Structure 1
Amino acid sequence: MATAKTKQKILETFLDLLAEHPYEDVSLPLIAERAKVKLSDMRSAYSSKLKLVAAFLEQIDTTVLDERDEEMGDQPPRDRLFDILMSRIDALAARKDAVRALHQAAGSDPALALDLNSLEVRSQKWMLIAAGIDVSGVKATIVAQGLAIAFGRVVGTWLDEDDEGMPRTMAKLDKELDKGSDFMKRLKGVEGIAKGVRSFLKKATSGRKRWKERDRETEAGYDEEAPAGA
């Protein structure tokens, strides 16, 4: 069983290699060789490159959650989310070249893009929690998916920006959150319609049951009043 120290060493080696090589060229044997660990330890720690990417994103999640600004609690949800996602960009900054390699690989490999999207959706659910935005169930997945796509666009802008103040990145995030706000309004509208339909169907079903019961009572009454031999 690989120790926590060995796992961290392997992960850092993977990220270092990503900064130097395309994702598809970074193999598990290469990581093990560079990290100076046995393949059995490599297997025990991370059985695939995707597991390494997942571990990286989990570290980023942890950093953002640990460093979130508690004083933002009285701010509007949109402002809190903006702050959280900019904190996520800051957390990614130390591994910008590795993030660029992942971004480029996803652009040319649809299967990898789907896998990375799944990981990012999971992370964005935690970003919503960190921002104090309460969504659950299917709605949480829908919102997190939209946020994952939006954040991917923001990351694309960030990767092409050299200005440390990140004006283009912040402007892009602002724009994407505006789109998200419109989406949330539409989603609430759809939820309202869905609730109305459910209420209507419930009432209609209840009405049909009452009519059926009344019909049965009426038929029973006719049977009782019918003359013998009729």
Structure 2
Amino acid sequence: MATEKSKAKIVDAFLGLLSEKPYAGIGLGDIAARAGLTLGELRSAYDGKLAILADFIRQVDSAVLDSTEAPSAEESRRDRLFDLIMKRLDHMAPHRAAVRHLAESARRDPGMALCLNRIALDSARFMLAGAGISTDGLRGAARTQGFVLMAARIVPVWLQDEDPDLSKTMAAVDRALEHAETWSHRTDRAAGILCRVGRKLDRHRPKRAAKPETEAPAA
């Protein structure tokens, strides 16, 4: 089994390479060599590049959530999401070049974009939970995907924002949250209508009569 020290070396090596070249230009051998490990050691730690990336995202999630207090009644969900998003960007700031190459690669490769979306959905569930927002059921699934799409609009602004105060990024986050809030209300109403229609249909659905039991044939 790979040690946590080996995994940390692999993640750092991968991010270092990703800051220098596109995702597709990074081979598993390159990662192992940069980390000072054998390919066998790399294989025992991760299944591939996407697994390494998912581990990095988990580390960012943990750092953000560990530095965030439990939701309070005084804070709105919008304000809490704003703080969570800005904290995520702060933790990702040392790897901005890597994020830029990753975003460029995803734009060129739809298959990779789908894989990244799956990783982002897992992260989004925890970010929404950190803001006290449910991710259960149809509404929760819509909110989770909405958060991922919202982040996809914010990241390009952040990558171009050279202001130390990240004023453009904060403005983009505020606009995205306002749009998401409106979209969420509409989605909640639509989901509520679908649920009510489903309950009405279920009440009026004819019930099947029980089949009479057949007598066993005489011996």
State the TM-score, normalized to the length of structure 1. Answer: 0.86
Q: Deviations over 1:145-164 (max 9, x none)?
A: 11101101101100011111
| Cα offset, 1:138, TM superposition | 3.0
| Cα offset, 1:19, TM superposition | 1.0
SS of residue paired to 2:43: helix
Amino acid at match of 1:60: V
SS of residue paired to 2:19: helix
Structure 2 residue aligned with 1:216: none
Amino acid at match of 1:66: D
Structure 2 residue aligned with 1:85: 85
Structure 1 residue aligned with 2:213: none
| Cα offset, 1:70, TM superposition | 4.2
Q: Deviations over 1:86-122 (max 9, x none)?
A: 1111111121111111111101111111100110111
Structure 2 residue aligned with 1:154: 154
Structure 2 residue aligned with 1:173: 173
Contact 1:60 1:88 in 2 (8 A): yes
Q: Quick one: distance in 2 between partners of 1:127 and 1:133?
A: 9
Q: Quick one: distance in 1 between partners of 2:99 and 2:11?
A: 14
Contact 2:139 2:191 in 1 (8 A): no
Amino acid at match of 2:171: A
Structure 1 residue aligned with 2:164: 164
SS of residue paired to 1:21: coil
Question: Mind listing any 5+ residue stretches in structure 1 that lack a counterpart?
Answer: 213-230
Cα RMSD after superposing both structures: 1.7
Question: Mind listing any 5+ residue stretches in structure 2 that lack a counterpart?
Answer: 210-219
Is residue 76 of structure 1 aligned with residue 66 of structure 2? no
Greater radius of gyration (CA): 1
| Cα offset, 1:174, TM superposition | 0.9
| Cα offset, 1:73, TM superposition | 5.0
Structure 1 segment 13-52 matched on structure 2, within 5 A: 13-52=13-52
| Shift in CA distance, 61/73, structure 1 to aligned 2, threshold 3 Å | farther
Count of residues in Structure 1 that have an aligned counterpart in Structure 2: 209
| Shift in CA distance, 12/94, structure 1 to aligned 2, threshold 3 Å | same
Aligned-pair identity in percent equals: 38
Amino acid at match of 1:23: Y
State the TM-score, normalized to the length of structure 2. Answer: 0.90
Of 130-139 and 89-98, deviating more is 130-139
Structure 2 residue aligned with 1:189: 189
Structure 2 residue aligned with 1:114: 114
SS of residue paired to 2:2: coil
Structure 2 residue aligned with 1:228: none
